[in-house]
Chains A and B, each alone.
Chain A
Amino acid sequence: MSKHSHSPSYKSDLITFAALMALTIITIWASYATGGTTVLAVSVAMFIATIKATFVVRNFMHIKYDHIIYKIFIGIVILLFLSFIVLLGIDYALR
């Protein structure tokens, strides 16, 4: 949008890139450190993936500069998906 209040800079894109690369290395390392398929390994992998996703959405997709309505929409989509996961977990646990 031409209404952006921030001035565009290559630097912030490069910093985000560096963070994503570092997290990729960390997640590969963590998968060995946590021993692959334990519940811990799955949780750690998903946690790191979510940090990476947050970087992409906030910085690359410019959500941090966008109108609040986008943040609300994204929040609702995340809640919707998490509620599916939680319901699935409850169903699995009670079977």
Chain B
Amino acid sequence: MGYYKVPISGHNRDDEGSKLGMWLFLFTEILLFGGLFLVYAIYRFKYFEEFRIIAEHMDITLGAANTVILITSSLTVALSITAMKKDQDNIAVLLLFITIALALAFMVNKFFEWNEHIHHGLVMGADLFNNLQHGEGMFLFLYYFMTGLHGLHVVVGAIILAIVIAKIINGKITKDNYTFHENGGLYWHLVDLIWIYLFPLFYLLH
């Protein structure tokens, strides 16, 4: 048996363990959205024609713009981690600020998009909505719920990245200790990952 010596300075760290923990959390997120994708699949089968008709109200341009925004933000997060590994703290912080700005842009787009739908009466309780076919209402319900839940993840992700920035500035994240930064990045990439599927399912298929 080897002799285990407790490190004398600093905290004990388990980078691999904390990353594994993050991934396990991401799996629960994937299965959460996975369940919703199954519900979508069931109703898409059941109300094929009604889904097609109502999906024509979706704005492909806004959806595509948000796709570009999220992919770009995924790039800036990945670049910020690369910068951190290269010990370029200032570049890493700048890239994270750009990411948060992109998250904001995404939510602003979303606001205009939902505002437009509500203005047209495509929302629960409005006269137009009440006269829709059942499948069309189901599409809108799933649209609001899934993109809404995704939007919530965008906000949470932006907050996590703001904490990463604070930790870099305070010197708690460094070239040799950036697991928190990486885990924040993993969360952000998951947000992108889910949108990759939401975009075609809600915007393109009509």
Chain A positions within 8 Å of B, measured between CB atoms, are 1-2, 4, 8-10, 13-14, 16-17, 20-21, 24, 27-28, 31, 36-37, 41-42, 45-46, 48-49, 52-53, 56-57, 59-62, 66-67, 69-70, 73, 77, 80-81, 84-85, 88, 92
Contact = CB atoms under 8 A, between A and B. Distances in A.
Contact of A21 (B71, B186, B192): B71
A21 B68 contact: yes
A13 B200 contact: no
Interface string B62-73: 001001100110
Interface in B19-35: 19-20, 23-24, 27, 30-31, 34
A77 to B, nearest CB: 5
B30 A77 contact: yes
Interface residues of B, number: 52
A48 B67 CA distance: 14
Contact of A56 (B34, B192, B206): B192
Given A28-B64, A31-B200, A60 B189 contact: yes
B31 A37 contact: no
A69 B20 CA distance: 9
A9 B75 CA distance: 13
Contacts of B31: 77, 80-81
B74 A56 contact: yes
A55 B86 CA distance: 23
Given A1-B16, A81-B34, A88 B41 contact: yes
Interface in B164-181: 176-177, 179
B200 A36 contact: no
Given A17-B71, A56-B193, A61-B189, A88 B38 contact: yes
B141 interface: no
B71 A70 contact: no
A36 B79 CA distance: 35
